[in-house]
A and B are shown apart, each in its own frame.
Chain A
Amino acid sequence: MSEREVERHTGDPVSDPGLAEHEFRPTDVDEAAEKRAERQISTLFGLSALLTLGFCVAYFAIPEYDSFAGTNALNLALGSTLGLALLFIGMGAIQWSKTLMDDHEIVEMRHGSASSEQDKTEALAAFEQGAAESGFGRRKMIRNSLLTSLGVLGLPAVVLLRDLGPLPGGLPTQTVWAKGVRVVVDVSGEPLRLGDIEFGQLVNAQPELFYETDDQGQPLFEGSALLNAKAKAAVVLVRMLPDDLVNPESAAMGIDGVLCFSKICPHLGCPISLWEQQTRNLLCPCHQSTFDLSDGGRVVFGPAKRSVPQLEIGLDEQGYLIAMGDFDVPIGPSFPEMYQD
């Protein structure tokens, strides 16, 4: 049979070369090699067991905070013993299957995956018979009431969603800032005078309420309430040369070039305090939104769609910086409803 005849015969453009001749592994023909492989594999498994025991010993023997080679000794010992133990099990298993397990080739022919015509007609007939016998199409009242009952089953899931918590009440415009609340240094809680802030200075600040206590000496804000309030009320104070301020409205909300802005990015709510004092730009590290604080916090770059909110500040009788009220626009990430009216 010539090649061309084979091609015509099978319909394949390239003739089927058939299976290659089976080649044997050293362990199939050499008994010494087989014994050696057996020893190798059991050594790997044995080492793995030893390392796992080593893991347990290390867990109890090594003190928690000892360091070794610039890292934590305990972490290093636990990681390397357990990691190598798992690695040796894997290496043993692969060596086992590659050298000693049976090695004959198997051929499985491909075949179509569609069902036979007979199966298809039988299945269709069974379905139609079932539909006819149940009267599902005929008894419309039963069908409709069943569909209604199944549909209503979805309601409990919707009702139970209420348990996930109350709807967030109030607009995010509402923070704890109010007229007369002192602006104090974050962490130390020290109140600020105008003279404390130099030109080109950045102060990360908070409302003094977070450092105050009630009659019983308990903090006004604690725990998650403190974190929630802090996450909305955080501000930065910056001082610029009054001549550099190009937005008179914004400049009027501050005193002598000291302006107070929300520390929460109006894009997605990251804390922003990367203030480049020379360009007077405030940069958000998350998505590079850039706000010009000398121009009322206007967006000059990045995905933010609105200016960073500014807090109007003033001085109390003792000369300390205070807020003149709450923010007049929502702080934090923007949301669709914000732009509806």
Chain B
Amino acid sequence: MRALSTRRRHPLAGVVVLLLGLVIVGGLYATLAPRSADADDLADDEDLVAAGRELFLVGCASCHGQNAQGILQTAGGQYGPSLIGVGAAAVDFQVGTGRMPLAQNGPQAPRKEVIYSPEDIRALAAYVASLAPGPAIPGPEYYDTSEVTEDEIVEGGEFFRTNCTACHNSVGIGGALGGGRYAPTLEGVEGVYFAEAMLTGPQSMPVFSDEVITPEDKRNIVAYLEEIQTQPANGGLRLGGVGPVAEGLVGWVVGIGGLVLAALWITKHSMRVRKQ
């Protein structure tokens, strides 16, 4: 203590105190500041990144380029878009739902059988995440609905109807967009992929960032979807859940058509005998 107090009038004391303060504030900020989604520990695993790069060169580079920088067509369009900065979440979504690798060109990559194993998908995600910061694979706080209350499900429903129903329909059946594109059905989709789709905005879908729709809101949306997909169809047959068009079609064709056929059958069939 004495040593410190004797040097407190040293010409460099002010500088030392200033530096000390900066270090403390910086250290506190680094530990206490909210961790952004960009901080992805997947990319820190060098072996995983290397394995991912091997897989990438075999399975993805033909469209996305040797360094995932994308390939431009001479006509001006994209052969495969750049993956720099799309983050691990985008890879986990696109490869984990089978959308990538693409089987053929078309307006939209459909959900299909998953080609890569979970470990390979992790490696690919690590490689792409190592290129530039991007959204990380979301944790269970985005989709673990085991402790969601009814009120939160209701709020999730409000968010869903405000932001999602325009394309995905009010029960998540999906619907048509322009030019052969479509909003896919949300039935049978795992919770993590909902969160990844909202974070990364795959294909035609817009992004719904955490600042606007918080992780808790996203989890409530997932809870709402789980709720409506498991609840009984109180109105009887759901008819695909696509709304009044299907109901009208069945009503007119099966209902009225059936009545007409029944009336024809009644008048046509009449048993007669010859009287002796």
**B-binding residues in A (CB < 8 A):** 23-26, 28-29, 67, 70-72, 75-76, 79, 94, 98, 185-188, 190, 192-193, 195-204, 238, 271-279, 281, 283, 285, 288, 290, 301
Contacts and interface: CB of A to CB of B under 8 A. Distances in A.
Contacts of A190: 212
B178 A285 contact: no
Given A70-B233, A276-B181, A202 B208 contact: yes
A272 B165 CA distance: 11
B272 A204 contact: no
A193 B234 CA distance: 43
Given A71-B233, A201-B206, A285-B166, 7 more contacts: A72-B232, A72-B235, A185-B212, A185-B213, A187-B162, A201-B201, A202-B207
A187 B158 contact: yes
Interface string B256-268: 0000000000100
B205 A277 contact: yes
A90 B221 CA distance: 49
B177 A274 contact: yes
Interface string B48-87: 0000000000000000000000000000000000000000
A67 B234 CA distance: 8
Contacts of A238: 206
Contacts of A275: 206
A29 B273 CA distance: 8
Nearest to A272: B166
Nearest to B160: A187
B244 interface: no
Most buried by B among A25, A79, A238: A25
Nearest to B209: A198
A273 B163 CA distance: 8
B206 A200 contact: yes
A75 B275 contact: no
Most buried by A among B155, B206, B207: B206
B163 A204 contact: yes
B114 interface: no
Interface string B180-196: 01010000000000000
B73 to A, nearest CB: 16
Interface residues of B, number: 40
Contact of B207 (A75, A98, A201, A285): A201
A94 B181 contact: no
A204 B165 CA distance: 12
Interface string B147-179: 000000001001100110011000000010111
B40 interface: no
A274 B232 contact: no
Most buried by B among A23, A274, A279: A274
A201 B199 CA distance: 9
B155 A187 contact: yes
A192 B214 CA distance: 12
Contact of B177 (A28, A79, A94, A276): A276
A75 B163 contact: no
Contacts of A283: 177-178
B177 A199 contact: no
B211 A195 contact: yes
Nearest to A64: B234
Given A72-B232, A98-B270, A283-B177, A196 B207 contact: no
A274 B177 CA distance: 8
A282 B275 CA distance: 76
A274 B208 CA distance: 13
A46 B265 CA distance: 24
A181 B209 CA distance: 23
Given A25-B273, A196-B211, A301-B178, A273 B166 contact: yes
B33 interface: no
Given A185-B212, A193-B211, A272-B166, A277 B270 contact: no
Nearest to B183: A274
The 9 closest A-B pairs by CB, nearest first: A196-B211, A202-B206, A67-B232, A23-B272, A72-B234, A276-B204, A201-B207, A273-B166, A24-B275
Given A72-B234, A198-B209, A201-B207, A274 B167 contact: yes
Contacts of B178: 276, 279, 281, 283, 288, 290, 301
Contact of B212 (A76, A79, A192): A192
Contacts of A28: 275
Contacts of B175: 285
A279 B155 CA distance: 31
A187 B221 CA distance: 12
Contacts of B206: 200-202, 238, 275, 277
Contact of B209 (A25, A188, A196): A196
Contact of A203 (B177, B212, B235, B237): B212
Contacts of A279: 178-179, 204
